[in-house]
């Protein structure tokens, strides 16, 4: 894993594809100056940007993350058909969290009404 953004690797890949940083900017939906910040290791890549660059360069996302520096996160893979149990479990968990948040909001409203009546 590269400690810093591996400019040489990315520049070599761009040349091999006949592309440049302007093409990267278009793919990522960034300005040329934002791409320059990535190349200078002044801006971190987001997971979705890692995925987009992996497609652009036709390499695995892990390769992009490795070459982009130590703190570059890998994008999470979309769940496959066999992962529906995990998806449903996560939805159940989120549903429970939502119910607790809604209860807390009701409790806060009641507390605010109670305090406003006392004034």
- pLDDT of amino acid 82: 57
- Say how far apart CA 55 and CA 109 lie, in whole Å: 49
**pLDDT-derived band of residue 89, with 50, 70 and 90 as boundaries?**
confident
- Say how far apart CA 77 and CA 94 lie, in whole Å: 19
Please report, for the chain, the start and end positions of each structural domain, with discontinuous segments joined by +. Answer: 7-68, 81-118
20-78 per-position pLDDT tens digit: 999 999 999 999 999 999 999 898 898 899 999 999 999 999 899 889 886 666 676 65
- pLDDT of amino acid 90: 81
- Say how far apart CA 51 and CA 32 lie, in whole Å: 19
Q: Which residues, in sequence order, are CB contacts of 10 under 8 Å at separation 6+?
A: 39, 67
Q: Is 7-68 assigned to CATH 1.20.1600.10?
A: no
Q: Pick 8 or 93 by higher pLDDT.
A: 8
Q: Pick 91 or 33 by higher pLDDT.
A: 33
- Say how far apart CA 45 and CA 51 lie, in whole Å: 10
Place of tokens 């992962």: 83
């Amino acid at each position: 894993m590269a400690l810093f953004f591996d400019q040489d690797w990315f520049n070599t890949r761009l040349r091999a594809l006949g592309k440049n940083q302007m093409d990267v900017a278009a793919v990522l939906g960034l300005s040329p100056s934002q791409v320059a910040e990535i190349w200078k290791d002044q801006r971190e890549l987001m997971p979705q940007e890692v995925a987009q660059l992996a497609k652009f360069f036709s390499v695995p996302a892990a390769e992009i993350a490795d070459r982009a520096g130590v703190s570059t996160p890998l994008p999470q893979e979309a769940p496959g058909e066999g992962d529906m149990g995990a998806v449903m479990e996560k939805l159940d968990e989120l549903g429970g969290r939502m119910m607790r948040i809604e209860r807390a909001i009701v409790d806060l409203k009641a507390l605010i009404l109670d305090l406003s009546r006392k004034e």
